[in-house]
Amino acid sequence: MDTKTIFVTGAASGMGRSTAQLFHREGWFVGAFDVNESGLQSLEEELGENCQTALLDVTDKSAFDQAMAAFSEVTGGRLDLMYNNAGIGVAGWFDETPFDKIMEVVNVNFIGVLNGIHTAIPLLKETPGSLCFTTSSSAATFGAPGLAVYAATKHAVKGLTEALSVELARFGVRAADVLPGLIDTPILRETPRYLNGELVQVDGRTIGEDAPNEGMFRMTPPEEVAKCVWEAYHSNKLHWYVPPEIVEIDNAKAASPEAVRDARITASGFKVIE
């Protein structure tokens, strides 16, 4: 294939969808994969030609192998940008969250990314200038209380990206990730919240319902993340923060993790342990 190609997971909605739209507008061939059939259908109708959409559960490695083979068949083995973006959340204190819900998050957010990258590497190796890109989170700066397992999976993705940014240099393949703050997408409404092991019904957003109008946790449109994926392909930067001020948490943690921890304990209304 003469045009560049991108493979996006979680492409039916939110930042994956915005990224698929942007790259398609720029003339790239877009492979869009998700478990959301109606979202994929409307995306396909919107994009028209020069795209391939298909159902894919990222937790299923053999399904991933098949999806990548079908994509490769169409692109002639070309994969310029692998975007592992699909993700889910679960909110509530770790000890009050049912264990099967915890494992769902681990499976989609971490195992799904391992599946995606492992499946993509043979094509990335064969495509000069390619990029392996993943959605981490601001929850991977200082672990977010109330989103502990989500934060852990996003730290895992960030660590994996750093390691692979070195390993994949053997093949001239770059690896990078994005750490978004609060992005205005359905995940903020759909993330379940648990209290004492019970699902809490929330009307509206379960996350970010009290987002400030300014500052690093202002509500940001998903198009900003799409622009960042575009810039990332044209750059050699490792971690992308959206909005950029999110980096300040990583900087503060590097200076004093205990100070960041104690500020969060106080902000949560708990007593700092002396």
Ligand X SMILES: NC(=O)c1ccc[n+]([C@@H]2O[C@H](COP(=O)([O-])OP(=O)(O)OC[C@H]3O[C@@H](n4cnc5c(N)ncnc54)[C@H](O)[C@@H]3O)[C@@H](O)[C@H]2O)c1
| Contact residues: ligand X, CB under 6 A | 9-10, 12-16, 34-36, 39, 56-59, 85-88, 108, 112, 135, 137, 180, 182-183, 185-188, 190, 222
The residue whose two tokens read 């391939």 is 52
**Closer residue to ligand X, CB minimum distance, 77 or 145:** 145
CB of 86 to ligand X, least distance (A): 3
Closest to ligand X by CB, 106 or 252: 106
Q: Residue 99: which region, alpha, beta or left (left: phi > 0; alpha: psi -120 to 50)?
A: alpha
Smallest gap from Cβ 272 to ligand X, in A, equals 27
**What does the alpha-carbon distance between residue 258 and residue 267 come to, in Å, rounded to a whole number?**
14
Has 150 been annotated as catalytic? yes
Which helix (H) or strand (E) segment holds residue 6: the answer is strand 5-9
Smallest distance, Å, CB 170 to ligand X? 27
Which C-beta is closer to ligand X: that of 65 or that of 259? 65
For the chain, helix (H) and strand (E) counts, in that order, are 10, 11
Q: Is the peptide bond before 243 cis (omega within 30 degrees of 0)?
A: yes
Specify whether the CB–CB gap between 233 and 80 falls below 8 A.
yes
> Which residues are known to be catalytic?
150
